[in-house]
Amino acid sequence: MGRTATEVRIQERTARARLKARHHPYWRVVAPGRHIGYYRGARSGSWIARYRDAGSTADYRTLALGKADDVALADGGEVLSWKQALDKASVWFKRQEEGEPIAATALDDDSDPDMTVGQAVAAYILMRDAREAARAGRTKRSSASSKLIPHLVVRDPQLCAVKLRDLRETHLRNWQRRLPAMAGSSKQRILSELKAALNDAFLEHRRALPGDLHVVIKFGCRPVFAEDLSGEPVSRDNQVLPDETIRTILAHVAAQDKDGDLHALCVVLAATGARFSQIARMKVRDVDLDQSWLFVPPSRKGRGKRIGANTRIRVGPDVIALLRSRVEGRAADEVLLQRWHYRQATKTRWERVGRDAWKTPSEMRRWWGDAAKAAGVPDVIPYALRHSSIVRALRANIPIRLVAALHDTSVAMIEKHYARWITESLDDIAARAIVPLLSQAA
């Protein structure tokens, strides 16, 4: 006789949020032999159904239903609420009861138990390249392509041939040792891309792969070249700018930017400390003129597809005044910051073809370089605006957790990259707690 599934209130979103992440679903009985499961991942979960004839001891037939509406809103397709998952499972239960062949629906996904490391990397590169192309509006290689193709696909067919189900930590460590001589930070970037590719494959095909594969990836991708990283600065001091230097750069940008498009972009980057990719996706509705709020979309960094609430950041009246003309009279779903795009009409003449969103940071490179040189800091890059924003917040004694939240990153990353400024900030706080302990002599 089969074991009875333990009942969990997975139909309630708040109850699901309290569940611990694990590799086995939480089940809820719909009817004898019919269950809906909730798989709890690190950030969100997904729905799965299983069926077997009532009273039977045969193996369950399973069906992946879709993602749960833990983070994203339910759309009835890829993301499902409890009711939508129940409706989809009920249709499938009926088909099974009517004798639909097991092979047709035993596993409604593309899980591949024979996938190799090379295939996982190739799929990841295609996904990343497609995302970069969509963002740039043209064919473009991603960092995954430029790092993994030469250092894994071309140079190391030995690791590419290993099946994911047979992957061991030694495979990944030995591959690290076979990397050519280069700076430790460069090796770390290559390793991070491989780790992301393997984790992506595991999440997509986990039902056909060993449940402990993510542990193998985690420990196998720990750097074996840690000694190469010693002495390498995690962030450059010359990229943290005084406020007056930032004002000078913005003034030079404004002086050379007739349309004001680059100036508006740089001002928003400086005011929020957000990444270029986040600011480029802001909509007109993301500006609250009355309350002086900017709502910055979440970044695309990290595991999986980030869907969540925008980060609310308060900005000064000067920033709101600058953006007012770019908000008023426009539709709420239009891209906030746009620029003129050109096409080459003749060998010597370019013509405007319309205004569109900023695509890549390279579009601001020449103008930013001229402004930085004029301000006396030619080596400063636009990302310095983000470095400076984070350090400014730390120096203002804003809690590290809040600094991380405002800049859409983690406390661990703040502590790793900005430890020096955290220490300085703590020293100032500790100094204010010092009081005289000895009475003054009369």
Angstrom distances, CA of residue 303 to CA of 4, 174, 193, 256, 293: 34, 25, 11, 39, 28
CATH number at residue 255: 1.10.443.10
Q: Are residues 216 and 321 in the same domain?
A: no
Q: How much is the pLDDT for 39?
A: 85
Question: Which amino acid is it at 238?
Answer: N
Q: Are residues 51 and 151 in the same domain?
A: no
**Structural domain tally of the chain?**
3
Q: How much is the pLDDT for 75?
A: 76
Report which secondary-structure segment, H or E, holds 355: strand 350-357
Q: How much is the pLDDT for 338?
A: 92
Distance, in Å, from the CA atom of 276 to the CA atom of 269, rounded to the nearest integer, reads 7
Report yes or no on 435 lying in a domain: no
290: Cα separation from own chain's centroid:
30
Ramachandran class of 280: left when φ > 0, alpha when ψ lies in -120 to 50, beta otherwise: alpha
Q: Are residues 417 and 292 in the same domain?
A: yes
Structure token digits, residue 293: 């709020």
CATH number at residue 68: 3.30.160.390
Angstrom distances, CA of residue 86 to CA of 37, 76, 83, 377: 10, 11, 5, 60
Q: Are residues 198 and 141 in the same domain?
A: yes
Domain final position from 204, 229, 254: 229
Q: Are residues 261 and 289 in the same domain?
A: yes
SS3 161: coil
Report yes or no on 8 lying in a domain: no
Residue holding tokens 């996706």? Answer: 281
Q: How much is the pLDDT for 108?
A: 42
Residue holding tokens 């295609």? Answer: 126
Q: Are residues 79 and 161 in the same domain?
A: no
* Half-sphere exposure for 14 (CA within 13 Å, toward CB): 0
Ramachandran class of 168: left when φ > 0, alpha when ψ lies in -120 to 50, beta otherwise: beta
Structure token digits, residue 84: 């939508």
Q: Are residues 283 and 375 in the same domain?
A: yes
6: Cα separation from own chain's centroid:
35
Q: Are residues 249 and 380 in the same domain?
A: yes
Q: Are residues 260 and 332 in the same domain?
A: yes
Q: Residue 308's closest CA among 193, 405, 427?
A: 405
Report yes or no on 84 lying in a domain: yes
DSSP per position, 185-209: HHHHHHHHHHHHHHHHHHHHHGGGS
Domain final position from 78, 105, 132: 105
Distance, in Å, from the CA atom of 429 to the CA atom of 325, rounded to the nearest integer, reads 41
Q: Residue 176's closest CA among 243, 218, 221?
A: 221
Report yes or no on 27 lying in a domain: yes
Residue holding tokens 């890549």? Answer: 360
Q: How much is the pLDDT for 303?
A: 45
10-residue mean pLDDT profile of the chain (442 residues): values are 60 84 83 87 80 80 84 79 87 78 41 81 86 72 86 87 91 91 86 92 82 88 67 58 94 91 95 93 94 90 56 94 93 92 84 87 88 91 93 91 92 87 76 80 53
Domain final position from 51, 73, 105: 105
Q: How much is the pLDDT for 101?
A: 46
The angle subtended at Cα 294 by Cα 291 and Cα 17, nearest 5°, is 105
Report yes or no on 41 lying in a domain: yes
Q: Are residues 146 and 217 in the same domain?
A: yes
Report yes or no on 60 lying in a domain: yes
Q: How much is the pLDDT for 5?
A: 52
Report yes or no on 28 lying in a domain: yes
SS3 234: coil
Q: How much is the pLDDT for 273?
A: 94
Cβ neighbours around 376 below 10 Å, total: 10
Q: How much is the pLDDT for 308?
A: 57
Q: Which domain holds residue 101?
A: 13-105
Q: Are residues 282 and 356 in the same domain?
A: yes
Report yes or no on 5 lying in a domain: no
Q: Are residues 299 and 260 in the same domain?
A: yes
